[in-house]
Chains A and B, each alone.
Chain A
């Protein structure tokens, strides 16, 4: 195992420096050797790819030693050659003698056509798939956005999965970083998609899949990050939140807390005859109703929770039945089963 690990670490270093200035000293042999290592590691990936202690051990070694530019995870072994190739092709600093030899090393010609582990056929496939994406993107419509969201959700879950249980705070750190770098709107959408996907997988009985196991980590981070939670509950559509809340009691409680807090911001406009926001960024009445309504529709249990909460608040306000006096009364009137 140890020689294998050493090879991995060697290649990781090579990869890390391949986009930097160090490549000035490379020649054709260096490039050839690097590509050979990549090929060897591809075989390693294929061999240990199925989950196993070996894979996890390799994963841990990589996580501990590799920097951001090297091999980030075991999964990265699959595309080592392509990654290296792209970096070298773009690197202006690559020594001329290596740069001139690079194309024919990557694309030897018809002889290498049948080799499925050589860079040639894999890079050609990448080119074809890339142009396919380009063409589909030009079509526009909803599909690109949906697809990208889903892919990012998959990537997020994959990365979280790789971090594993070794460092419990690693997941939090990663999510914090993502949030900081933003853009917030996208991060929240991806988060929602990832949570929903985890839900779907669970319901489909694929609880073992990557994605289903990551949900608890995501939820925990969400619930422990107030800023994110508020933005999450604000931005995500009512239906989506309702589905998620329906399956995660902790989330439903937090959501309900926020909704009640937002409700208290509204005051009754006597002249116009409805509950209006105090500040421009407050949640308007219609949206509040919609969200509460969606929660009630999600499950009977949730409906009970919502109604109980509202009734409790109404009691504190004086238990008025007349509209316009207490927002809780009016909300209850607007919801199914509330009157």
Chain B
């Protein structure tokens, strides 16, 4: 408590000084400085109110003798009054300062002074042309009547000024000078969350001037971004995209905000993940390759930091899928080549990967899979071929497109004959990209053996859960891959369905493994929802519900 009190006292001094500086000069720099501090000052006002509301007027004056000065300076600063909820906290602080029962003339004076300050706050707007405000009075109207519509008309006026400049693009005599636009954007900083300002914000964001340098202030972009991310403001997608295009820090912040939502401790179902991602408007924005590359970079960073965490991979796949969907909906004229989105991937590889796996009929699925496998293998293992990419780059490219691994697994469980090497390689690479070629060969050998064992079980009398459980992982195959094969077997083969429940219960012997299985089932369901394949979907959903309840 004592520390809080000392903090407040030093903050108090800091803000008193700041306010004095701000009221001395009303230059562009002071305005900019004020805008930078608006949210912190509001925090301070909030804290002050929490403190003051417990005290009576005299106690307040004893503890903060200059409080009148501080509050007055703030009340005379229109940028502060315009920001978010600052005017509310200021008013509340003033009310705290009121004497409930004044006993001396001094106390009455103070009350009187506070009332006049409140009156000022409620009518800061004084129209300069006296005669002109008389007109409204002659009609019987006061500011309180026409304030909303005057503001609306001001905004409309400025919007049409902007739009005319826009249309006059070819005309060098643009109606709104860059300095004026800068000042206008600065004025908007405290006001982006006021609904009346929405048309103006939109017009500013979508205005594309002829000048190469940015005409709007960076604080404006930040303010809009903040308001959008905290849902204090609703903007059309085109405006948000324009914002991110013109102000990189906002794009980065928006992506981080999304990551925070997705990768916080709570485990999200992929359906929710998709919702979050779509809501963020990032996939739509990422139709622009420049934006996609930045978001992709950030995904890459998180992947490296988390050592390839499955939820990050899953989110990346959903993101890519949403982006592809948004691209499909967009105007055909806007199509960029794939290379612009994935500069780090060989064009042939990128082209094959970006096909829709689900769109390929079953009997033709093997060929593209093998092609992918070959291209990746060349990129990863052949030092002369495609030497620009490290194995990680190739793997990173591959994991964007989730459907192929599922397809590979299904193919492997279907073929009666020798499992194609290409498929084995693909799975081994997907789950252990960092392996050297020797180790990978080993993995492939073991994988082949495991598969033949599983297929033998399938062909046998009756498949039992115990049999399945006995198919333990053999080094160096990782546990994840084995479990995936087993689960796929249970879900995708008719023999597997009857014993699925029992087998899964046996498999889920630790929390971590249960989490993994839940994740896999959820992912499968998610993909099935996009595919509309009923039979396995029902089983997957039931299993997920039961297992999910346990976690």
Interface residues of A (CB under 8 A from B): 68, 72-73, 75-76, 79, 82-83, 85-86, 89-90, 96, 99-100, 102-104, 107, 109, 123-124, 126-139, 141-144, 146-148, 150-152, 154-156, 159, 174, 177-178, 181-183, 186-187, 190
Question: Within 8 Å CB of A134, what residues of B?
Answer: 78, 124-126
Other 18 A-B pairs with CB < 8 A, given A96-B108, A131-B87, A134-B125: A68-B140, A79-B145, A86-B122, A103-B118, A126-B122, A129-B151, A131-B125, A132-B151, A135-B187, A136-B151, A138-B78, A146-B157, A147-B157, A150-B157, A151-B149, A156-B139, A177-B138, A186-B135
B95 in complex: contacting residue of A104, A139, A183, CB < 8 Å: A104
Give bound CA distance, A133 to B87, whole Å: 15
- B454 proximal to A (CB < 8 A): no
For A79, give the chain B residue with the smallest CB separation: B144
- Given the known inter-chain contacts A86-B123, A124-B88, A177-B138, please indicate yes or no for A133 contacting B100, CB distance below 8 A: no
Output the nearest chain B residue to A150 by Cβ-Cβ distance.
Answer: B153
Interface positions, chain B 99-153, Cβ under 8 Å from A, are 99-102, 108, 111-112, 114-116, 118-119, 121-128, 131-132, 134-136, 138-151, 153
B12 CB–A CB distance under 8 Å? no
1/0 per position for B267-307, CB-CB distance to A under 8 A?
00000000000000000000000000000000000000000
Q: Is the CB of B180 within 8 A of A151?
A: no
Given A126-B144, A141-B161, do A132 and B194 touch, yes or no (CB 8 Å)?
yes
Give 1 or 0 for each of B54-82: 1 = CB within 8 Å of chain A CB: 00000000000000000000000011011
The answer to the question of B92 belonging to the interface, with a C-beta cut-off of 8 Å to chain A, is yes
Q: Does B154 contact A (CB under 8 A)?
A: yes
Q: A127-B91, A129-B148, A132-B194 are in contact. Are A155 and B123 (CB under 8 A)?
A: no
Could you tell me how many residues of chain B have their Cβ less than 8 Å away from some Cβ of chain A? 66
- Using CB atoms, name the residue of chain B closest to A183: B131
Q: Are B132 and A109 in contact (CB under 8 A)?
A: no
How far does the alpha carbon of A150 sit from the alpha carbon of B136 in the complex, in Å? 12
Complex interface: chain B residues within 8 A of A154 (CB): 146, 149, 153
In the complex, the answer to whether B156 meets A130 with C-beta atoms within 8 Å is no
Instruction: Return chain B residues, CB-CB under 8 Å to A177.
Output: 138
Contact A135 B147 (CB under 8 A): no
Q: A103-B98, A128-B82, A131-B124 are in contact. Are A152 and B136 (CB under 8 A)?
A: yes
- Our pick among A82, A103, A127 for the contact of B87 (Cβ within 8 Å) is A127
Is B465 in contact with chain A by the CB < 8 A criterion? no
- Determine whether the beta carbon of A82 is less than 8 Å from that of B158: no
Interface residue? B490 (CB, 8 A): no
- A82 to B122: give the CA distance in the assembly, Å: 9
Bound state CA distance, A240 and B126, in angstroms? 30
Contact assessment for A103 and B115 in the assembled complex, using a CB-CB cutoff below 8 Å: yes
Structural contact, B144 and A86, CB atoms closer than 8 A: yes
A144-B87 contact, Cβ under 8 Å, with A100-B98, A127-B122: no
Contact check, B101 vs A133: say whether CB atoms are below 8 A apart.
no
Contact between chains at B191 and A99 (CB < 8 Å): no
Q: Select which of A89, A133, A139 is within 8 A of B125 by beta carbon.
A: A133
Cα A151 to Cα B141 with chains together (Å): 11
